[in-house]
Structure 1
């Protein structure tokens, strides 16, 4: 790997990002993966963007699915985010609180916000794929502070807000 690549990776490692979980069903099998690249893209049509580092496994299922759910995770979802980021970790267990929507996607009802989406377009860049996803439905869940990720750790802003208000 080049020095430029190493410096680029280090720069983004220190850039905080929201944590999201994408779930889809393909051939009646649920898939999911954790991402930190979600961004708003367009208001008309309503669309978001995200990147996938590979096109196999859960990422490949998202690319093949007729639709998928993008869950913006809350602070209480740190363990869930870890499970869906690590191969072989428990996924879609009864205690994780997923249920299937009538359209077939696994839905985490206690996520602060979730978008039912389809792929609008995509482009390959190096070994990754940038996805533009059109949002068809927005689901509101439990009101809570969103989970952030920075430098391989999760950040919880609610503790910072509480400390600021106590001073």
Structure 2
């Protein structure tokens, strides 16, 4: 697939917009930005890949659906993440959408300095080779078609190549991260 974004043009365009439209505005601090986003809940996903260094995983709340036709999704990863270099060097990924019963996997993949694949009962490999967690209610595998460095993070765009939704997963309460805590959605949280 050919991407139409010329990153040099985009950067020039952004710099032009910044200098033209925002030169008189102050930038908020990183802490103020993070505090605001703590009020915005995010679905919890685990992203796995087979990098040149071996299997790698991270927990993310930054997964977004970009397009259904063609099927595209994206996620971001901080350059400070312990798995950043390995994730950025991979070419295919599995994005797992976690339910409340996968809290252990979410916490494991969010912890630095541990072997996320030490417990071989938790994970397996797809026929295409990528490591994945079979207990996830749903997952989408895809290949990277673009990567954009943006500030202190990278945005990785994938084209979906396969997916699975576990039978009965429609009733699985999703795992959500909100204000530095793990939560789940369910009938108790439905407001309309």
Cα distance in 1 for partners of 2:119, 2:53 equals 17
CA contact (8 A) 1:119 1:132 kept: yes
Task: Give the structure-2-normalised TM-score.
Answer: 0.76
Matched with 2:64 is 39
In structure 2, the residue corresponding to 1:50 is in which secondary structure?
Answer: strand
CA distances 1:89-137 after superposition (whole Å, capped 9, x unpaired): 3512436521111211111112111111111212111111112111111
In the TM superposition, 1:9-20 aligns within 5 A as 9-20=34-45
* Structure that is richer in strand per residue: 1
Structure 1 unaligned runs (5+)? none
- How many residues were matched structurally? 162
User: In 1, distance between residues paired with 2:101 and 2:158?
Assistant: 26
Partner of residue 48 from structure 1, selected from 73, 77, 87: 73
Q: From the CA coordinates, give the structure whose radius of gyration is larger.
A: 2
Distance 2:101 2:110 in 1: 16
SS at match of 1:122: strand
Equivalent position of 2:176 in the other structure: 148
The two structures, once aligned, show a CA RMSD in angstroms of 2.3
Question: Which ranges of structure 2 fall in alignment gaps of 5 or more residues?
Answer: 1-26
Question: How far apart, CA to CA, are the structure 1 residues paired with 2:69 and 2:94?
Answer: 19
Q: Could you say which residue in structure 2 is the equivalent of 1:127?
A: 152
Aligned match for 1:72, one of 90, 94, 97: 97
Question: Is structure 2 residue 51 aligned with structure 1 residue 23?
Answer: no
The runs of 4+ residues in structure 1 deviating greater than 3 Å are 93-96
